[in-house]
Amino acid sequence: MKLFTYPGAPNPRRVHMYLAEKGIEIPFERVDIMKRENRSPEFMADINAMGGVPVLELDDGSHIAESIAICRYLETLHPTPSLFGASAQEVGLVEMWIRRIELYLMMPVGMVWVHGSPLTKAVVKQQIPEMAELNREMVKNYFGFIDRRLAKSAYLAGDHFSMADITALCTMDFAATLNGLPHSKEQVYLSRWYEEVSGRPSAQEK
Ligand SMILES: N[C@@H](CCC(=O)N[C@@H](CS)C(=O)NCC(=O)O)C(=O)O
């Protein structure tokens, strides 16, 4: 097994954090997305037709892309400690929160990144500043939604730290550091959660 990755980027970080939480070691190969190595015809033909990282190469030479798909594959091989839920109810709740965070937080942060950052100017056909602005508002509103959720439970999906928390933390750090979108300190429940999950040893994986 081998992981094609670019440590530091938010999606690869989700997998590195997952691996650290589980104590799984996998050799990795760095693919420089700043040099567009992941967009080479070879990479796209042989490794991931979508071009992104991370990608897990299995021992039979096949590939699994998509951060959650990679972690789900690994979870099947290493079920404990569970990061996708232990009971049927937990599995459902973890899935719900992963989907919510990906669709309603990661997606708008990605739009701010693509339409609002000078660093992505060369990689999109056209930047639409209004798109960045609209999505900024969506991100801020969603921070409020998560804050209200975390008023009721220790972690997003309930009492246990899960892949949903990893996804939220990696998205929030990317939002804050590269998109000028930190959460508000007045969001006390979100801040409490953020401090706690940021203090986990796995969160040092960047
Ligand atoms: N949905 C994919 C997204 C993968 C993705 O967009 N990765 C980024 C790094 S965070 C990337 O490779 N960007 C460079 C590119 O797409 O050319 C996942 O969950 O892994």
Report pLDDT digits (tens) over 73-84.
999 999 999 999
Mean pLDDT of 90-119: 97
Q: Do 2-77 and 88-204 share a fold? A: no
Ligand 1 atom at minimal distance to the Cα of residue 68: 19
167-192 pLDDT per residue, tens: 999 999 999 999 999 999 999 999 99
Of 3, 5, 6, 11, which is best to mutate to test ligand 1, by the most ligand atoms within 8 angstroms of its C-beta?
Answer: 11
pLDDT of the residue at 205: 83
Measuring CA to CA, which residue among 153, 148, 139, 145 is closest to residue 182? Answer: 139
Q: What is the arithmetic mean of pLDDT over 88-116?
A: 98
The pLDDT tens digits of the residues spanning 23-32 come to 999 999 999 9
Where does 2-77 sit in CATH, by number? 3.40.30.10
Residue 52 CA, ligand 1 centroid: distance in Å: 4
Q: Which CATH number is 88-204's, of 3.40.50.300, 1.10.8.60, 3.40.190.10, 1.20.1050.10?
A: 1.20.1050.10
What pLDDT, on a 0 to 100 scale, did the predictor assign at position 118?
94
Mean pLDDT calculated for residue range 129-138 = 98
pLDDT at 206 over 80: no
Cβ atoms of residues 16 and 4 within 8 Å = no
Residue spans per domain, the chain: 2-77, 88-204
Q: By the 8 A CB rule, do 43 and 31 touch?
A: yes
% pLDDT > 70, the chain: 100
Residue 150 class from Cβ within 10 Å (0-12 exposed, 13-18 middle, 19+ buried)? buried
Report whether residue 39 contacts ligand 1, using a CB cutoff of 6 Å: yes
CA nearest to 26, candidates 73, 82, 85, 95: 73
pLDDT band at 122 (very low <50, low <70, confident <90, very high): confident
Q: What is the pTM of this model?
A: 0.97
